[in-house]
Structures are given as C-alpha cells and as structure tokens.
C-alpha cells in the first residue's frame, strides 16, 4: 500500500496559489490579439405573416427551428382543429401553436396563414 504524501508548508502554499489562479476568470471585456469580438446575429424570431383583422401572426423561431402561430384571442374552432390535425402543439409559455420548421411545414404554414386570414389564392400560384 502506498504511503500518503506529507504536506509541507511550501507545497501547501503552492497548492493555494494554484487554486487561486485557476479560480479567477479572465475579464470579459478584454480580447486577445487576433480574436474578433462575438457576433450579434439579431433576433431569433421573425414574423412572416400578420393579420391584425383576424388577430394572429405567423412567424419562425430560428433558435428552436419552429414555425408558430400566435393569436391575440382564442382562435375559432375550425382554426384549432386545423392546427391539431396538422400536428401543431400549444406552448403555453410562448402562447403559441408550434410545429417544426421543415420544408413541408413551411409550405403548410404559409397556406394555413392565408386560409386563416381569408386570402384567396389565385390559379397561378
């Protein structure tokens, strides 16, 4: 069985100095030479379609990679049924109906937003 290491005054002082040096973080404002400051990419949420007359907004949250519908008041039953039928889930913290932002869901949410707003789609579309 190995013997325990005896602690002397100099080794204890060295361990304390090392622990203190490690515990102190570098100042955040200083950047080292050759490093660029962190980039500000802008807000993660972007509204894509708004309809103040019907009281809703459709947008995309890039941080969570979701498309979402936000309503001012509780939507009508046919709107709720359409959202549930297409796999949307309600997030109470965001007060929004969300679905993952895939290519198919982007087309779907664009179509649903126009449908909820009552916009007629032309034949050429």
* Nearest to 125, CA basis, from 111, 113, 112: 111
Element (H or E) spanning 46, and its range?
Answer: strand 45-51
How is the chain split among helix, strand and coil, in percent rounded to 5?
Answer: 30, 20, 45
Average pLDDT over residues 3-32: 54
39-83 pLDDT tens trace = 777 888 999 999 999 999 999 999 999 999 999 999 999 999 999
Return d(Cα 17, Cα 15) in angstroms, integer: 6
The residue to which tokens 């709720």 are assigned: 80
Q: How does DSSP classify residue 52?
A: T
């Amino acid at each position: 069985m190995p013997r325990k290491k005896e602690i002397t005054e100099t080794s204890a002082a060295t361990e304390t100095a090392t622990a203190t040096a490690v515990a102190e973080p570098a100042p955040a404002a200083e950047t080292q030479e050759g490093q660029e400051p962190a980039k500000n990419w802008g807000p993660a949420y972007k509204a894509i379609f708004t309809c103040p007359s019907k009281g809703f907004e459709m947008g995309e949250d890039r941080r969570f990679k979701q498309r979402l519908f936000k309503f001012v008041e509780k939507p009508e039953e046919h709107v709720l049924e359409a959202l549930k039928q297409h796999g949307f889930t309600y997030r109470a913290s965001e007060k929004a109906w969300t679905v993952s932002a895939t290519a198919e869901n982007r087309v779907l949410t664009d179509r649903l937003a126009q449908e909820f707003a009552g916009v007629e789609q032309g034949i050429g579309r």
